[in-house]
Structure 1
Amino acid sequence: MIKAKLKAASIHLLMSAVVVGCFLAFALTVWYPEPFFNISGLANIILLLVTVDVILGPLLTLVVFKPKKSTLKLDLSVIALIQVAALGYGMHTIYQAHPLYIAYSGDRFTAINANEVDPATAKYPELRQSTFATPTLVYVEKPSDPAELSRVLMETLSGKPDLDARPEYYQPIGQHAATILAGGIPQEKIRHTPENQQKLSDFLQKHGKTASDYAFIPLIGREDDVLWAWSHATAKPVGVLAINPWTLH
């Protein structure tokens, strides 16, 4: 009996781990490439998904499994339904909350989730992303017409999305690299405390060069705000410093 229980629970565990593992591998590779998962605030959803589908499901199978039990199929069906419901909830939440655009506006990048924008409204065809796509870097161009800008501001005050969540104002980021790199936070502010000094030193030890070779730009996430380091040489992001930019003086 014990061997049968362990075999059934092991098979259940293997199947659950494969399904959840494949989904999480896809989500973390495509929807949440580094550093976006760390600032997304989805750790609790991942924990729920793993707990119910990979741990609780097989444990329940271990408890209820008896080869000749008359209600075995019903018991296993109920367990499977609970797992499917948890998996569906987790997948939907993770999909809805994944950043579809990383929008630079003013002096910062903001992660804009898939459920916050309509990619079809983007002015540039290359920015009309599928909602299943990996995050795309964009530059937010404010309206040059004062009347239009005033209208957008009034709409924002009434509850509509701000400029950084309006794809019609998005532009490809490449042509604005110089503006973005010029807007970083000075390293003197980062070095203001010993803790931040150490984080900067660790970053430079890992990535090389000097602090002057990078622009440190605020990156706003759902859970955390960090400094996103961009290389002046390549005009591309390199890594993050776990420093809240709004605490720097």
Structure 2
Amino acid sequence: MSKRLKFFLGHFTISVIITLIVLYLIFYVWYPAPLHQALGITHLTFMLLAIDVVIGPLFSWLVYKEDKKSLKFDLAVVILLQVSAFAYGFYTIAKGRPAWIVYDSLAFHIVRHSDIETSHLHLAKPEYQHPSWFKPQVVALLDTKDIQKIHPIPKFTISMDHPMYYTDLKNAKSKIGEIAFSVKDLTKFNSEKKIQQVLTEFPTADSWLGLSGLEQDMVVLINKETAEVIKIVELRPWH
């Protein structure tokens, strides 16, 4: 086996291992299904991984010529460019990961890590000052009257982007019980077959609310009695 082929295979193997780790982190930890669809990061992710798995090793194969005086320099440039492009894309995906799923009395909304307003973060309860590095946490937004007691909403900002206005979802139990829709209402925008498949998988869900996403809206299945979020599913809450 030639040195060129050995280097290429080694480069490709390392790239594949990194890719598998990143795929797991993105699709199973940061953006658990179907949040990656709600936020529209699937294409960006596969562009990132194409750079890591295909373009990087391919360039190293093209520039590798034994006995070439500048070989080490050329390979170092290829790897540096690959790492730089990968790091930028990975940073973008990490910053855009969903940190909070916030209920605001009408529906649920995704607050990404990059959306969080940090100007008044010290006023938030300790459990809301540091978003998890793992899956997003579900919280409720305080009532407007309670928000005014804590601190008026700063100009040019959105209340749900301020963790100082977050509270435990259990505190919104009565409100959720009042406005949550019956699962029968899902038939307006979804096929009965798909609804039945979902409800069979999550039998404790008896109601739902919408989840507003940047790319696609989803349905949040709820148990009305406990106000517990059962699962976010890929069903249409509205047109």
Pairwise TM-score range, normalised by the shorter structure:
0.7 to 0.9
Q: Which residue of 2 aligns with 1:166?
A: 162
Residue-by-residue CA offset, 1:204-237 (whole Å, 9 max, x unaligned):
233346xxx4221111122111111123466433
Could you give the per-residue CA deviations for residues 131-179 of structure 1, whole angstroms, max 9, x where no partner exists?
6454121110123179779x64x93xxxx22222121211112232343
**CA-to-aligned-CA distance 1:16-39 (integer Å, 9 cap, x gap):** 122233233233343223332231
Q: Which residue, 206, 215, 220 being the options, matches 1:223?
A: 215
**What is the DSSP-based 3-state SS (H/G/I as helix, E as strand, rest coil) of the residue aligned with 2:38?**
coil
Matches within 5 A, 1:81-160: 81-118=80-117, 120-130=121-131, 132=133, 134-144=135-145, 152=153, 155=155, 160=156
TM score, norm. by length of structure 1: 0.82
> How many angstroms apart in 2 are the aligned matches of 1:147 and 1:205?
43
CA contact (8 A) 2:212 2:218 kept: yes
Measure how far apart 1:182 and its partner are: 3.8
What runs of 5+ residues in structure 1 fail to find an aligned partner? none
The residue matched to 2:68 in structure 1 has which SS? coil
What is the match of residue 24 of structure 1? Answer: 23
Amino-acid identity (%): 24
Unaligned runs of 5+ in 2: none
Q: 1:196 aligns with which of 191, 202, 227?
A: 191
1:170-189 to 2 correspondence within 5 Å?
170-189=166-185
Instruction: Tell me the residue number matched to 1:52.
Output: 51
Instruction: Output the TM-score relative to the length of structure 2.
Output: 0.85
Q: Any idea what SS the aligned residue of 1:37 has?
A: helix
Partner SS for 2:238: helix
* C-alpha contact 1:102 1:112 (8 A) present in aligned 2: yes
Alpha-carbon distance in 2 for matches of 1:241, 1:26: 20
Is the contact between residue 65 and residue 72 of structure 1 (CA under 8 Å) also seen in structure 2?
yes
Note the C-alpha offset of 1:13: 0.9
Q: CA RMSD in A?
A: 2.7
**Structure 1 residue 242 corresponds to structure 2 residue 212:** no
SS of alignment partner, residue 36 of structure 2: coil
**Offset at residue 130 of structure 1 (A):** 4.1
Q: Secondary structure, in 3 states, of the residue corresponding to 2:39?
A: coil
Post-superposition shift, 1:122?
Answer: 4.9
